[in-house]
């Protein structure tokens, strides 16, 4: 059975600095992972590599069974959805919500090709699935931060990706908006045609039970990887954060406090 993500001894150096060092990581079929790390830990570098925007200085990368160097990464990207807050800055504020979602089919900023009625049916279906059908007809700039994130996820799903990367998806959201977004992500994972999910964050409490595996990255190296409940435990996270912390599990989510 092919792996969804496979990184073997991956390192990346720039201007004499080692930003990723000997990363070994395997995501198997049927697994949803969380990637946890502080700012500057190397999370974004890993994501750029998985999408083929950066090439490792050494090591091998396979995504969706395709080995980099033997595959056209531009074609591979069509099977990868990447939702990042940095994308919000590039989108047109006056674009209608449904047009923004449909543009995901063409991987374009704005619509330059003529969508079909079926495309709009699909966009509306995805907006219902993510609990935001009330945004139909609304311009993107009038949506709240949480609503924008849901639209970006719907946009990423238009291309029916096999891997969906949610990069700091709840960043900047208030409690209600964050919990609403997390509930939508959980419901998405239950769909029969759901993509494999990779949720990137620096907040343990955002790691839902659907993310049964967690990768901890610190200073460009794998600190720990494995079953989420085994990785997110007191002694491990105290060492990871380099300060005494206590984990409280509520509703199968890890809430962190300094002690």
Instruction: Tell which wins on pLDDT, 13 or 87.
Output: 13
Burial class (CB in 10 A: 0-12, 13-18, 19+), 131: middle
Inter-residue contact 34 to 203 (CB < 8 Å): no
DSSP 8-state code for residue 96: B
Nearest to 217 by CA among 41, 97, 78: 41
Can you give the residue ranges of every domain in the chain?
Answer: 5-90+162-258
Nearest to 198 by CA among 77, 36, 16, 21: 36
Whole-angstrom distance, CA of residue 254 vs CA of residue 240: 15
Domain 5-90+162-258 belongs to what architecture?
3-Layer(aba) Sandwich (3.40)
Please state the rounded mean pLDDT for residues 133-155.
91
Output the pLDDT for position 110. 54
* Band of residue 109 on the pLDDT scale cut at 50, 70, 90: low
What rounded mean pLDDT belongs to the chain?
Answer: 91
Please state the rounded mean pLDDT for residues 204-225.
97
* Band of residue 2 on the pLDDT scale cut at 50, 70, 90: confident
* pLDDT value at 241 more than 90: yes
pTM of the model: 0.92
């Amino acid at each position: 059975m092919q792996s969804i993500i496979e990184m073997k001894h991956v390192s990346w150096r720039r201007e004499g600095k080692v930003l990723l060092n000997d990363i070994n990581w395997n995501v198997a079929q049927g697994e949803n992972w969380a990637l946890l790390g502080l700012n500057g830990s190397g999370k974004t570098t890993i994501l750029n590599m998985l999408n083929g925007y950066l090439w490792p200085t050494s090591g091998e990368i396979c995504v969706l069974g395709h080995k980099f160097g033997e595959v056209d990464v531009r074609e591979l990207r069509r099977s990868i959805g990447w939702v990042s807050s940095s994308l919000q800055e590039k989108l047109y504020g006056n674009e209608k919500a449904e047009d923004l979602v449909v543009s995901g089919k063409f991987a374009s900023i704005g619509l330059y090709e003529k969508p079909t009625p079926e495309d709009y049916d699909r966009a509306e279906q995805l907006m219902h699935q993510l609990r935001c059908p009330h945004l139909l007809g609304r311009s993107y700039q009038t949506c709240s931060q949480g609503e924008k994130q849901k639209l970006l996820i719907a946009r990423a799903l238009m291309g029916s990706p096999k891997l969906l990367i949610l990069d700091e998806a709840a960043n900047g959201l208030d409690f209600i908006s964050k919990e609403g977004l997390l509930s939508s992500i959980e419901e998405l994972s239950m769909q029969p045609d759901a993509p494999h999910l990779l949720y990137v964050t620096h907040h343990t409490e955002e790691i839902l039970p659907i993310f049964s595996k967690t990768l901890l990255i610190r200073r460009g190296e794998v600190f720990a990887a494995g079953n989420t409940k085994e990785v997110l435990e007191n002694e491990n996270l105290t060492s990871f954060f380099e300060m005494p912390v206590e984990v409280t599990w509520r509703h199968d989510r890890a809430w962190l406090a300094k002690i």
